[in-house]
Structure 1
Amino acid sequence: SQGDSQEVAQLLEKNMKIAYQAGVKMAMGTDSGVAPHGQNLRELSLLCGIGMTPMEAIQAGTIRAAELLGWDDRIGTLEKGKIADVVVSKKDPLAHIESMGNPDNINLVLKAGEVVKDIRRP
């Protein structure tokens, strides 16, 4: 039921906040099945809701995730020789992290070096 879902969400948020405050390393994940395809960046706002700064939330989806997978020598940062997908937003995510969860805010997406979305040009 919707009431149960809200209760579970509140419990998850509480536990995430406790873990974050205790220094547990966290990475953004897409395995919970709660966000529609193309909207997984909404998780960045949720991470800020437990106390992370916008930069920490972005790093949870990039370098921290790579570190936890043991792949930070190949992915996780924009560096020569690393594989990277890139998302370019209209708004500054450090000032408007919530905008990252809105597909209309995303100007450009590069995946494996290929442009998969580009609304900068008509």
Structure 2
Amino acid sequence: MRKPLTTAVVTATIGAAAVAGTVLAAPEAQARIAPGRYTYTTVTITEFGTAPMTGPATIRGNVMDTVGAFGIPVRYRIRPTASGGVIDAAGSRFILDRKTRGRYSGPVLRNGRLVGRNTLVPLRRR
């Protein structure tokens, strides 16, 4: 009689450990910015007004290739979040949250202060 009880306790313990391990080790579900071609716009707020910059962008995996100042190609690493992604570059944080019709937009922060807005708008397929 003692053996079935011991077997049941061991089985229950192993089962509970397996469930706990799965729950504790499972990564948080994250969205990512959909791969494709976009128009990327950043509007920076300055003491003289706003300074918009627009150019083509391509998303592949967690990387965005776009054009920076003076037409120089730039590659940014995107950290996926539950609602889109975040780019940390040059002391700024670019937040891109999913909006309607495949668009992403959000604030640009530097040292925790709002310094602009950015958007990713998907290009239409022809």
Same fold (TM > 0.5) = no
Larger C-alpha radius of gyration, 1 or 2? 2
TM-score normalised by the chain length of structure 2 = 0.25
Higher strand share: 2
